[in-house]
Every structure is written in C-alpha cells, then in structure tokens.
Structure 1
Amino acid sequence: MPHPGENHDEVDHGRRRFLTVTTAVVGGAGVVIAALPFIKSWEPSARALAAGAPVTIDISKIESGQMVRFAWRKLPIFVVNRTKEQLADLPGLDPRLRDPECKETSQQPSYCQNAWRSIKPEWLVMIGICTHLGCVPDYYGQIKPEPFDPHWKGGFFCPCHKSRYDVAGRVFDGVPAPLNMVIPPYHYIDDVHVRIGVNPKGAA
C-alpha cells in the first residue's frame, strides 16, 4: 500500500527510465544477433581462400629417387625425383594396372595425362592420399622384391588395406583402391620452384 503523500510521479519516472534503458540494450543486442548470420556468411569464403591458397615449393634439394612431402590445402603433396630406371620400368607395368592410360581424367589435369602423369618426366607431383579410404601410402622407391610384391618396380604401398600404386601413382589391378592417385594443378616457376594450386599459363 502506498503511504499518503508518497510521490508516485518520481517512482514512475524511475521505472520508465529503467525500462527505456533496458529496451535499448535488448534492442541493441537484437541488432548484433541479427547481424551475426551476415558476419558468419563472410567467414567461409575467407577460410576457403586461405585453405585453397597456392603454395610454392623448392625442389632443388630432392635427390634422384627421393620423395619429399609438402602440404597444400591440408593435404600431403608427394614430390618424387624419379630415376631413369623407374621411368624406364613404367611402360612394362601397364598390363598389371587398372587404368594405365589414365582415362579417368578427373584424377589428373589434361597436361599430365601422359605416361608419367607429370609435366616433366622425372618429377612426380601428386596428392599423397590413397583413393580407397583416404590413408597416406608409404613410398617404396627401390626397384627390388618387397613382401607385398616380388616384382616391385618402385612406387607406393598403402599400409591400411594393401593397395599399391606405381611410381606414377597409377593403381594396380586387384587391390581395394579404385582409382589412380590425384595429380593437383601445378606449374613450374623456374627449374627449382613449383607452384601447387595453379595451372600452367594457358592450361584449363
């Protein structure tokens, strides 16, 4: 019960000020919340740009027969300096491969749809992921019998489910992997620098 003589106008003004400030704060918060979806919508493109940014790698220190790993788009990139012996053995493996002529064009750019799956025969540039379930194969570069293949001519062996690929990343027949490994877009800046993620000038 209000007491006689109590100033009701002062009470009402105080409440009114409180409600006004509260409404303004809540309204401001509503504007921020409403803006969040728009701000969030900017993020994927920024992340995609960063994730898909090309990378330049130096291949000058990779010795003949050696493989070195790099990273692009959080993917392992295998770069192999193939020996003359490895290259010479590639044609003889065709009868043992699932897609020796690389007819699955989605697995490599058109400028790498050749016997070596590369721009330069000695240099393999490839995404190092097995096409079966996404494991990372191991590189066995030496031409010698291996427990998984007594006629091994160098290449890649996936320890997860025993898929095998030759030194051009072409998959063997009769293994779980269904496709050759993927060749990314790339080009040479000069003799020792490769740009991953960008096609050569004039290439689609």
Structure 2
Amino acid sequence: MSKNPSPSRRKFLTATASVVGGVGIAVAVTPFLSSWKPSKKALAAGSPVSIDVGKMQYGQLITVEWRSLPIWILRRDKAQLKTLDDVTDLLSDPDSKDSIQPKSSQNEYRSINPEYLVLKGICTHLGCVPLYRPGKDVELGADWEGGFFCPCHGSKFDLAGRVYKNVPAPTNLSVPPYKFVNDHKILIGKTKEA
C-alpha cells in the first residue's frame, strides 16, 4: 500500500465530498427558506376583491374588506359631485398632491369614474374610522356640504376624501388600487397600470 494517494484519487474524493456537502446544505436550508413564503391564508387575504356596484343607489355607501381594511365605495350623484368645486378653498390638499392614490384617480374626483368613489375608510390622523355624513349638517359648520367626519379628533373630509384645513388629519383619505372590470364591477387590489 502506498503512503501517498494518487492526485486523481484525491480530486475524486474532494469532488465527491463537495457534492455530498452541497446536497446536505440544500436539504437543510430548504425548510428554512420555505418558512419565508406567505401562507395560503395570507395570500388569500391580499388577493383582489371583486364588487358588483350595479345596484347601488345614489348617495349609498357600502363597505367591503380588503387586506383587513375597510374599503368604502360611494355612489355620488350630480349634486354631490358639484359640491367638490364649492369646498375647494376650504381644503388642505385640493389637488391631492400629498396624498396616496393610483395615477388613474389623480383628478378632481379622485376616482376613475366620477360617479363611484373608492377609499380606504381609515382616517389619516390616527387610524380611526370616519363617519359618512352626506349633505348639510349644522353640527359640522355652515360650510359643510357633506363628506366624512372623524369623531375621534374632529378631522373632516369632503365627498372626494380630501381633508379640510386646520384639522388633525395631515393628508386626504387614501385611494386603494382598483379598476373597473366592466360598467358595474370593481376589482379592488389591481389597477390598469399594474
């Protein structure tokens, strides 16, 4: 028996040990990496939500859940849309420059279709849920034309979710990503841009 193994045998043993070690590391790491994947339940919670708005009445607000958030859909009539121009001077960010909304909703109505407003129903101050207060309301001031009022700290938003001046909320209500699938079906969680 020779005391010095041949170089070819040494290369073979080194290569074999490397392959076996690599397979062992892959087997050990696979469950760890798999644990980083979201569960089926988590994936379902973040998936888009489809809503049929064809039977909504003018002035009606419905609430749906998407990603554990309340999402409001408001069907606005022509009188409600007209109030958006009437309150512009009272708003902190009337052009929605400092607010969150998809590009398709960056307009005076903050919506794809002016008739349907889609908003996250969470106040941008401390996360309370504002109340829908349509029409004039003396409790909210002579200039109130309808919109959303947060009873927690008094923030007010118009019928496009734009925040009034001199209230605690820093920005307009957020518009989630959404798109119209057809004239009466909205898909929340996806946009045409995506």
| Letter paired with 1:55 | V
1:10-159 matches, within 5 Å, as 37-42=32-37, 44=38, 46=40, 48-104=42-98, 106-141=99-134, 143-159=135-151
Q: Using the aligned pairs only, state the percent identity.
A: 47
Structure possessing the higher radius of gyration over alpha carbons: 1
Query: Any idea what the Cα deviations from partners look like across 1:62-98, whole Å, max 9, x if unmatched?
Result: 1001111011111101000011111111112111000
CA distance in 2, matches of 1:115, 1:91: 9
2:70–2:120 contact (8 Å) kept in structure 1: yes
> Equivalents in 2 of 1:92, 1:129: separation in Å?
24
Partner of residue 181, structure 1:
173
Q: Secondary structure at the match of 2:89?
A: helix
Deviation of residue 152 (structure 1)? 1.4
**TM-score (ref. length: structure 1):** 0.76
Structure 2 residue runs of 5 or longer lacking an equivalent are 1-27
2:178 and 2:54 map into 1 onto residues whose CA distance is 17
Q: Residue 166 in 1 paired to residue 180 in 2?
A: no
Find the aligned partners of 2:115 and 2:30 in 1 and give their Cα distance: 54
CA positional deviation for 1:148: 2.2
Q: Which amino acid aligns with 2:64?
A: F
Deviations 1:94-121 (A, max 9, x none): 11000001112x5111111100000011
Aligned residues: 168
Q: Report the TM-score, using the length of structure 2 for normalisation.
A: 0.80
Q: Residues 118 and 41 (structure 1 numbering): CA distance in 2 closer, same or farther, change over 3 Å?
A: same
TM-align CA RMSD: 2.0
AA at the equivalent of 2:188: I
Residue 51 of structure 1 deviates from its aligned partner by 2.5
Q: What 5-or-longer segments of structure 1 have no aligned partner? A: 1-32
- Report deviation, 1:145: 2.5
